[in-house]
Structure 1
Amino acid sequence: MGASDYERRQALQHLTACQQDLQAISASASGAANPAMRLFGALLGKSLQFPNQQYVYLVNGKPVITFWGFVDAQERNRDDALACLRDSLEESLPTVLVEPPPEPVTIPAASEPEPVIAPEPEIVTPPVQESAVQAPEPTPTATARRRPFRLWYLLPTLAVAAAAATAVILHLPQSEPVTVTQPVAQNTPAPAPVTATKPPAVVASAEKLSATLPQKPAAVVANASTAAAPTSAAPAPSSTLSNVVVPAVPAKPDDLVVTPDAVRDGQVQVIDGRWRVDIEQIKTPTGKPPVMRFQFNKGKGIVQISQGNTTCKADVTAAMTSAGNLVIESRFTARCADKSRYRMPLLVCHSSIGAAVCEAQYSADRVYPITIKRESK
C-alpha cells in the first residue's frame, strides 16, 4: 500500500533535517587537522546518496533508506541527494492554477488600428478620379482665349511660342497639372482650388507605385508611410525573442519568475538557489542537448554543464539590464573533466507577470529557447 501525500511530505521533512545534520558534521570533520578525520568527513557527505525514490520505505511513519551511499552506474551524484524525492512529490501534487484574464486586454488593442486604416482610402479615392477628369477640360478654353488675342498682333511669334510650348510639354509631362490649376482657380468658385491642388501629387505618386502595389491610387499614398515602417522593421528581431510578444504563462512552483518590478529594482535575489536549465532545439553529435545546473547566492554562483559523460564547471554572474531583462553570463569558458573547454552562452530572461521566457544566445544566428526549473532554494 502506497504512502499518502501527507506521509511522504512528513518523511521528506525528516530526511531534510537529517541531511542538514550530516552536512554540518561533514563540514566540521573536513576542517579537522587529522587526515583520517578529513577523509571521514568527505565520505560522510556522500553517505546519503541513493539511486532513486524506490529505495526509500516508510516503517512506522519513519523513512528508511536501503542501499545508501551509492547511485546507478549511469548516473552521477546529485548535488541535492533528496532532489528525486522532491521531484516525485511535486509531480503527484495537483497544481491549482488560477488563470487571471488581465492579459486578453492586449488582444483587442492590436485589432483597434485596423478599422482606422480601412476607411482612409475610401474617403480619398473619389476626389482623385474627379480631379483627373476635370483637369484636362479647362485646357482648350485657356488656349482658345489666348490664341485669338495674340494672332491679332503677330502670327510668326505665336507659331514659335506654340512650338516651344509643345516641346516643353512633351519632355515634362508632370508640369501640366500645375499650369492647369491656375486658370481653374480664377474661373471656378473658392472650393475648387482645394480639390484641384491636392490630386496631382496623389496621381503622380500612384502612377509610380501602380506597378508594385496594385491598389487604388489614393489607398497606396495613404498607407505608404505607415506600412513602410512595420514591413522594414519586422525581419530585424527574428533571430531572438527580445521583440516577440509572448502571452504570459501562469507560473508553476518551480518556474523562474522575473517581474517588471524586480527588474526595475535590480532584485537579482530572484535567481538565488539551485536551478536546472534545459536547452531546446539544439543539435549535438550525441543527440542529447546539454543540461546546466546553476547555484546562485546574491547574483553570483557556479554552473555545472553535463553532456553525455562529460561535465564542465564555470563561475557565473546574474544582473538586471536597463532593457528589462535578467542576464546570466560567464566571463570565462567552462573547464571540463577531459581538459577541454566549453563556451558558455549568454542566458537572457525577459520580465513577465507569469513564468519568465528565456533563451540561450551562443551567437547572433544561434539562439535557442530554454526552460529554467528550480531544484531547491
Structure 2
Amino acid sequence: MTKPFLRSGSLDKLVALGENGQPIYAQAQSIREALRLKNQPAIADCLAIPQLNLRQDRIDWYAPFSGEIRPWTEADDNERRAALAQLDACLTEVEVLSRQAVAAPQAAQQRFGTLLRYLLRFPDAQQVYLVDGKPVLTFWGFDHAEQGGGSDPFACLRSEEAAPVTAAETAIGAPSAPQYDVRPPRAGRPGWLLAAIVMVMTLAALGWQWRQSHDAAPQAAAPAPVLPMPPAAPPAITPMPPLPLAKATLQPAPPTPEPAAPPSDNHALIMPAAAVKAGSTRFLNGEWRAVPDVKTPLTGRLPSLRYRLHNGKGSLSIRQADNVRCRVDVETGLMPSGNLVINSRTKARCSDGSRYQIPEIVCQPQEDRPAACSGRYGADTLYPMTITREKK
C-alpha cells in the first residue's frame, strides 16, 4: 500500500544528527523495527518514513499510516494541545528507552540508546503534520546548520501557542494620557466679554501690519530691454584625411572540444547479455565489493559489503566502523525481467551478538556499461550501489 506523501526537502541547510558518522535517519527501518519489538508503536507512528533520492541531496517523507493530513500551522489550538500531549508522552518513553539501552552491556544496544537521543529532534514547526489528528514528524534527526539543539525538542511547537493579551496588560502597556490642572474660572467679568475684547484687538493688529507692509514696499522698476545678440558663426570643420583600411578577414571559431568521457572502472560489474539471456549467474563467481554511493557529508558512509559467490550461492561479510564484524549466507538469481538479485533469507550475525539487516541488491543490465545497482535497506530506504570485482 502506498504511503501518503507529506513533504520533500533539500539537505543543503540542514545537519543530520547521529553518532560515529552514522545519521539516525539512515537507520530509520532498523529503529522502527526495534520500536515495534519493544512494543512502542506510538513512537514509531510519530516518525515519518524517509526516502532519499538518487542524487543524495533531497529526502521525500511519507506518513506511516493513512488519514486526513493537515500541517501544524493550520491546526487550531485544541488540535495542537492534543498533539503536543502525545509528543510529550512519546518523549518521556524515548528518554526511558535511551537510558536503559545505554546502560545495557551489549555494544549494539548502547549505540541504539545513543541514537535515540536525536530521535525526536527536528528543525522547526514547518516539519510537523497532523495525520488523522496524530502528530507526525518529518526531518526528524535533523537540525538547522546555524542552530544548536536545546533541551526541549518541542520548544518551537510550544512557542506557536500565542498567549492571550489581558485587559490588565493592555492598560499597563498603553501610554497614559497627559494630565492637566483644570481650575474653575474667577468670579468677575463674564467670559464672553473678555473673549470679544481679545478678538477685536487681534483683528486691529493684523490690519495695521497689512497696511504697513503695502505702504513700505517700493515700486518695482521695469526691466531693461534685452538686446538680441547675433548668433556666433560656426567653427570651420577641417576634413580628416581618409584612413587606409584593410579588408577584414573572418576567422573561424575554434572548435568546441568534445567532453571527455568519464573513466570506466575495468573491475565494475558488467552483466553479459548472453548470460542474462541464458539465466546464468556464473559471471558472478569470485569475490566482489559493494559500496553504497552516499557522497554527501551529511549522511556519512554505510559499511561496504564483501561477497564471495560461486554458482548462485555464497556469503557476505560486513565490517562496521566500530570493528564489529557480521556474516550471513546469500543467494543470487536472475529475474524474468533480466534484473540480478542478491539477497539473504536471514539477518547477518555480528561479533557483538547483534543482528544486522543486510540490503537487497538489485542490478539492471546496461549495454556495454557497468550494471545499474541499488541496495534496498528495508522497505523505505534505497541507495545506489557500486559493485566491483576484487578476485576471481
Q: Same fold (TM over 0.5)?
A: no
Q: Larger strand proportion, structure 1 or 2?
A: 2
Please report the TM-score for the alignment, with normalisation by the length of structure 1: 0.32
Higher RCO structure (Cα 8 Å, ≥6 apart): 2
